[in-house]
Amino acid sequence: WIFSKEQKPIHTLCPDTMAENGKVTSGDDADPSKKPLLSSSTDYGSISFPEADGYSLSQRGLADIVAQKQTKALSAFGGVSGLASAVGCKDLSKGLINAKTKEGAAFVEAQRSKYGSNSLPPPPSPSLLALVLEGLKDPTIIMLLVSAVISLVLGLGIERDFEHGWIEGTSIFVTVCLVVAVASLTDYAKAKEFRDQQLRLEGERHVNLVRSGESTIVHPGELVVGDIIRLAVGDIVPVDGILIDGSGLKMDESALTGESDLINKAVYTGGGKESKADPFIVSGTNVMQGSGKMLVVAVGCNSMQGRILARIREQETEGGDDDDNEENGGFLSTLRSFFSFGSADVEGADLMKKLDVLAMDIGKIGLLVAFLVFLVMFTTWLNSQFFKGGDCAALVEDECIPHAACAWSHSSGSCVRTWTAEDISTVLDYFITAVTILVVAVPEGLPLAVTLALAVSVRRMIKDSNQVKHMDSCETMGSATTICSDKTGTLTENKMTAMRAFLAGKEHEHIVGKTSGEEDMNLGKIILESSTSSDETKALVELLSEAILLNCAPTSKVNSTEAGLVYEGNATECALIKLTQQLKVDGESLRQSFKKPNSVLDWGEHSIPFSSEKKRMSWIVEKGDGFRMYSKGAPKAMFGSSTSFLSGLSGSVTETKPLTPAELKAFNEKIESYQNSGLRSLAVAFRDFDSVPKDGWNNNKDLETNMTLLAVFGIEDPLRPSVPGAIEDCRKAGIDVRMCTGDALSTAVSIGKGCGILRSTDFDKDGNPKEGFAMTGAEFDDRVHLKDGKAPHVVRRVFDPEINDAVDKLAPQFLLDEKGNKKLDMEAFDKLWPTLRVLARCQPEDKLTLVKGMRKSQLFMDETRCRSLDKEHNIKIFPDYQVVAVTGDGTNDAPALKSADVGFAMGIVGTETAKQACDIILLDDNFSSIVKAAMWGRNVFDSISKFLQFQLTVNVVAITLAVVGAFAYSESPLTAVQMLWVNMIMDSLASLALATELPTKELLDRMPYGRRRPVISKVMQANIIGHSLYQIGVLLWVLFAPQTIPFLDPPITHDPTQGSVHWSVFFNVFVLLQLFNEFNSRRLPTIEKLRSTVSEWNVFNGVCSNPVFVAVMVSTFLAQIFIVQYGGLAVNLVHGGLTRDQWLFCVVVGMFGLVWQLIINFLIVRLMKSSSEEETNSIEQSIRKMSTRSLGDVKDDTSIDDAESHREKSLPQANWDKFRAGVRQGNIYKDMMGGSSFRSGHKLGSIVKTRLDDQKEAKKKIEVSEKLFSSEKSLKQD
């Protein structure tokens, strides 16, 4: 379906229906003389499109109306309503007929057949055959296949050895086919997994559709031309359309135009080309502000998004990049690149880049070794056979002439060696051996292991409510050092309930039942029972219900189910709607009573959508002889727009009082009391109008002023029960959690304290957060950015300490960079962020600044500052760059989600824009799921490291033995077929076994890895070297002295030839050593864990929890038995296989590798130092050096012994011993304290250094040291 019959790329993805019906796509320059044709057949089987003034409403014509912004076309069809009617939508307020009815389903299907469906064919996925052909293009595979062909030609065609000549070539063919098949199947499964993941993500998209006057949530694929959809902030528009209703709607079209400015959209009211209104909305653009409704006019292939995709597909089909035409650096540059190992800029890169560099280096080493082996074997053979004559040199003329490989030289009078077909076969064997060494050396299993580990994790993470969009983010999350989390819905349940209200001059509060059997007195019931007059109660309920229900988004609903109440839409609005249900009000009937006929609005006259700048929203309805506007928003914003408040009701008549400064102060105190209780505060107000303002509802900027304050609510959002434990897990894992919320500072501090983000030590004696631990976004913004002192002051957001909140007032301008962004004061930022735990009244740009700043910070290099933070606040700065994860749900959070190392979007309340920008979607919006993602990320890193350790061990051993065999016997003891089997064990099967381990909670008991951590850790190095030495030693023993192997009767004869018992045992020992080493590779503990946990020494711990590992081990062992016993000459092994005693020896030698691992662990514990010990020893040495230099007149040339002696005279020995003991005990206390590297000895070191630097006289230094070192109790407390 990509190509036409002429094999030319065409728009088959988006077929041009204009060619089908013969109509000409119209534009502003179309012939206006054409008479309008507004008739449209009702026969669903025919295809005819309305026309007017040269404009056609065909699929392409409708798409061009939006793409080319043809306002004349709207005029030609009588405006938007006329165009809607022409495409099947007769009533803009109701939309198309509901597809739930038979008639509606038929009509919708007819629309889909006529105008196309809103779906795009997915890009073609590679077939299995294509992947096989791709695998056969690998250079090493090609070399092996060529070698196999030559081997067959030599064996069957030249040597005519039909009994054995076919074996080696056929074996290579079969093995290569097996290797390619396994690799192709794995790649195919990987591509299918990725495709399925994209389909899952696509399947979770939704739009708010209006049909038959009812709003429903559907998948974008259900849309057809003529549908009406609602637009809300955060939506990514899936179709092209025309705005039919909207207020304050602003679109981000940067994805289409590249321009970052928001585009205002307005309803078309007429005026043709002269109209300045832009009602055209293009697919793929984002709703950034406001709300509205849109008429769908182009879907799927005909939409702007679909047409662009078609062009991209065509370019991909037409082929390629011009990379091949780029100039290279020449031969010297290529040679220099080949012999350069590692990369200078790989430090700090992610794991994938480090692995790429490592794989390239291993491949280079393998190629050099393969070339060296071939060169040595070939030159040794050439010298012995041709330069020295070989067997021919000893022959006389009568013996020489009949010999096939010899010829008599009359000039030299001796028998010389000549070339034969067998010589070509010998050279070919050398070449095959070199190629197989290269095959084993190249770690093609490494990307397979990475892919498997990520694919398995991604698939299983869905069960933990983590839907991964970008696979590499899964591994990155394992290195996360900081999580910047939202509050609402992430730390809290997002099940909001109105708990307190100040209404009509009275305080009302939800009463919790005193016993488990006693029901709660909800707020609605309290309000109903608070009034003594039934008229007063009725009037109050009516006023409050209208203020709530008529000033909510139509998508906010509270549905009753068997499981309880289910919120749909905005949770804060749902809390208020729930209150009206408690007041026994029928919300749907109330809203319908205010609906105007033929209006596109759901009810009322005019709506003013929520704005983050104004922090409120309003809705105007017709009330009596006039109009009433209901408004709700942040209390501070509402107080500033109100001049009076509802003080009570006299019967059904409202009574108001002026909102004086004294009353305003009382309201602020009430709000503060709500916030101190952890409640979100919200204010509701109203204003009456006698008539429509002169400027209308749209253009009047003073509508939301002079309002009457109706009520103030305190809304509770309960903390998730799992959050405190999850945050404690993060703290143990070395991950700092910071809360960024739009709530007031007191509310945020209350929640932060409840969930454990703010510890008890983070508060002062008065119960307030210490300086720098909690602040507002305005204060943070002001403190971390550079100011322009010379420029005039401007009105901007500034923190006001008197009200503990942000206000707009004159302040210095910020310095801007060349891109117009505020310049970050990195020094001020580094002073602020380590202690910052709660950021309240946080705007998206504040979160973005925090994320970017932490990722850039190099505070970890300032040891003095790090020690000070540890000593004063028990805050340990991770000794590497920060890896930041951030959560977000709104459209404005997208930049922060993109800038973070890992971005989490909320799956329930998150906007489409946030989900597009993120790396992982939290399906349950739960913070605990982020912790699970961190655990999975660490598991991925460990799985890759385990496989890497195993593969490098095999590489080292296989290459070493191949080189030794080549030098000793002029051939490798492992043949090409055997090498390929080993390659399969250590690549495909090992990656499958080691990359499928499940994560455990113990993964969170250690610090993150960090950006600069080397791929191969110290423990991995020890294991690789240790096992390589053991395996090489055992295999050299078998290779050179098999007859000395005990308990074998008869003993193994030294017979270094293919197919002998000697080399069959060698091959079997080699494979079994690798199999048992896979068990050792399952555990990858740290030095600290080996010292403290016995279970880390047990390589079988948890093995049964991974059935894949068990299955791979069992199947590999059984396959090895089959190959050895029945493979015979096909795999260059002894016919009939090995005896029972020989098998027993091989198994025992392999199993001893498990014991050898215990020996390696013992040596690691005894000889290797952990990072914390190295730091502590360094401190001890520096303190000793400082003390010996400062405690007397020690000359520069004084020896260490003299200095030590002088120190002993100056400082009491007992105190010095205590200090050294304290430093060493820091290693013991580190496990109890749960920290990382800076411990008690480190703290004492920083104290001593600081104090000694402050003193000038040696005598005072001694006194300070004695005082510090004399108290064992203070040492342990530190």
Say whether pLDDT at 2 is over 50: no
CA 1235 to CA 1157: how far, in whole Å?
28
Report whether pLDDT(418) > 80: yes
- Please give the average per-residue pLDDT across 557-584, as a whole number: 84
More confident residue, 120 or 719: 719
For residue 1184, pLDDT over 50 is answered with: no
Mean pLDDT of 1090-1096: 71
CA 758/CA 769 separation, integer angstroms: 8
User: Residue 709: its pLDDT value, please?
Assistant: 93
Structure tokens at 696: 């209308």
Q: Which residue has the tokens 């890169």?
A: 349
Residue 323 binned pLDDT confidence (cut-offs 50, 70, 90):
very low
CB-based contact 1160:1027 (threshold 8 Å):
yes
Q: Which residues contact 1183 (CB under 8 A, 6 or more apart)?
A: 1219, 1223, 1245, 1248, 1249
DSSP string, 118-167: S--PPPPPPPHHHHHHHHTT-HHHHHHHHHHHHHHIIIIIIS--TTTTTH
486 noted as active-site residue: yes
Of 1165, 1134, 1137, the residue nearest 1227 (C-alpha): 1165
pLDDT above 50 (res 1187): no
Confidence of residue 1261 (pLDDT cuts 50, 70, 90): very low
Give the confidence band of 1149 by pLDDT, cuts at 50, 70, 90. Answer: very high
Tell me how long the chain is: 1278
Higher pLDDT, 665 or 348: 665
C-alpha closest to that of 712 among 641, 618, 636? 636
What mean pLDDT do residues 299-317 have?
A: 73
pLDDT of 736 above 90: yes
248: pLDDT strictly greater than 90 = no
Nearest partner of 122 among 203, 185, 190, judged by Cα: 203
Q: Which residues contact 997 (CB under 8 A, 6 or more apart)?
A: 939, 942, 943, 946, 1082, 1106, 1109
pLDDT digits (tens, 9 = 90+) for 1113-1144: 999 999 999 999 988 877 788 888 899 999 99
Please say if the pLDDT value at position 557 is more than 90: no
Burial class (CB in 10 A: 0-12, 13-18, 19+), 815: middle
- Of the given ranges (129-138, 648-657, 1027-1036, 1250-1259), which has the lowest mean pLDDT? 1250-1259
Among 443, 432, 558, residue whose Cα is nearest residue 497: 558
Pairwise pLDDT comparison (446 vs 580), residue with the higher score: 580
Q: DSSP string of 35-84?
A: PPB------TTS----EETTEE-SHHHHHHHHHTT-HHHHHHTTHHHHHH
Torsions phi, psi for 1018 (to 5 deg): -65, -40
Tokens for 60? Answer: 């392409």
Residue 571 in contact with residue 497, Cβ under 8 Å? no
Residue 382 has pLDDT above 90, yes or no: no
User: Band of the pLDDT at 1189, cuts 50, 70, 90?
Assistant: very low
User: What integer pLDDT is reported at residue 1146 of this predicted model?
Assistant: 94
pLDDT at residue number 440 = 67
Ranked by mean pLDDT, which of 251-255, 361-365, 1036-1040 comes out on top?
A: 1036-1040
Between CA 544 and CA 527 the distance in angstroms is: 11
User: pLDDT value at position 446?
Assistant: 66
Confidence of residue 824 (pLDDT cuts 50, 70, 90): very high
> pLDDT band for position 147 (50/70/90)?
low
Choose the most confident range, by mean pLDDT, from 220-224, 963-967, 1223-1227: 220-224
Tell me how crowded residue 1266 is: count the other CB atoms within 10 A of its CB: 15
Distance (Å, whole) CA 454 – CA 589: 52
Structure letter (DSSP) for residue 116: -
Q: Is residue 672's pLDDT more than 80?
A: yes
Quote the pTM value.
Answer: 0.70
Q: DSSP alpha helices (H): ranges in 970-996?
A: 976-984, 990-994
Q: What is the pLDDT of residue 833?
A: 93
Confidence of residue 708 (pLDDT cuts 50, 70, 90): very high
d(CA 964, CA 971): 9
Q: How many CA atoms lie within 13 A of 350 on its CB side?
A: 15
Residue 941, pLDDT above cutoff 70: yes
Least confident of 211-220, 557-566, 1000-1009: 557-566
Judged by DSSP in three states, 1 sits in coil
User: In the predicted model, is pLDDT for residue 975 greater than 80?
Assistant: no
Reading the block at residue 1074, the tokens are 């690798």
Q: Is the peptide bond before 1050 cis (omega within 30 degrees of 0)?
A: yes
pLDDT of amino acid 443: 65
Answer yes or no: are the C-beta atoms of 709 and 638 closer than 8 Å.
yes
User: CB atoms < 10 A from the CB of 663, how many?
Assistant: 16
Closest CA to 250 of 610, 702, 696, 568: 610
Give mean pLDDT, residues 338-353.
52
Contacts (Cβ under 8 Å, ≥6 apart) of 464: 929, 932, 933, 936
The mean-pLDDT minimum among 155-169, 357-371, 728-742, 752-766 falls in 155-169
Nearest to 1245 by CA among 1188, 1179, 1147, 1169: 1179
Most confident of 241-250, 1137-1146, 1200-1209, 1238-1247: 1137-1146
Residue 668 has pLDDT above 80, yes or no: yes
Residue 1277: pLDDT over 50:
no
Tokens of 1188: 């010996």
Q: In the predicted model, is pLDDT for residue 1181 greater than 50?
A: no
The residue annotated as part of the active site, out of 429, 486, 846, 889, is 486
Q: Tell me, what's the pLDDT at 159?
A: 54
Average pLDDT value for the chain: 77
CB 943, CB 995: distance < 8 Å:
yes
> For residue 487, what is the DSSP state?
S
Flag whether pLDDT at 728 surpasses 80.
yes
pLDDT classification of 158: cutoffs 50, 70, 90? low
Task: Give the residues across from 685 on adjacent strands.
Answer: 631, 709
pLDDT at 519: 61
The residues with which 286 forms a beta bridge, in sequence order, are 236, 252
Compute the radius of gyration of the chain from its Cα atoms. 39
pLDDT confidence of residue 1151: 94
Phi-psi region at 235: left, alpha or beta (left = phi > 0; alpha = psi -120 to 50): beta
Cα 561 off chain centre by: 35
Asked if the model's pLDDT at residue 137 lies above 60, the reply is yes
Q: What would the two tokens of residue 1206 be?
A: 């002088």
Strand-pairing partners, residue 611, are 616
Nearest to 1189 by CA among 1215, 1201, 1177, 1207: 1207
- Identify the band that residue 489 occupies on the pLDDT scale cut at 50, 70 and 90: confident
Q: Is the pLDDT score of 9 beyond 50?
A: no
Whether residue 829 has pLDDT greater than 70: yes
- The model's confidence at residue 1227, banded by pLDDT at 50, 70 and 90, is very low
Three-class SS string for 360-379?
Answer: HHHHHHHHHHHHHHHHHHHH
Please tell me which residue, 711 or 419, carries the higher pLDDT value: 711
pLDDT the model gives residue 271:
57
**Pairing state between β 774-776 and 838-840:** parallel
d(C-alpha 199, C-alpha 931), whole Å: 26
Residue 854 has pLDDT above 90, yes or no: yes
Q: For residues 1193-1203, give the mean pLDDT.
A: 38
β pairing state of 207-211 and 214-218: antiparallel
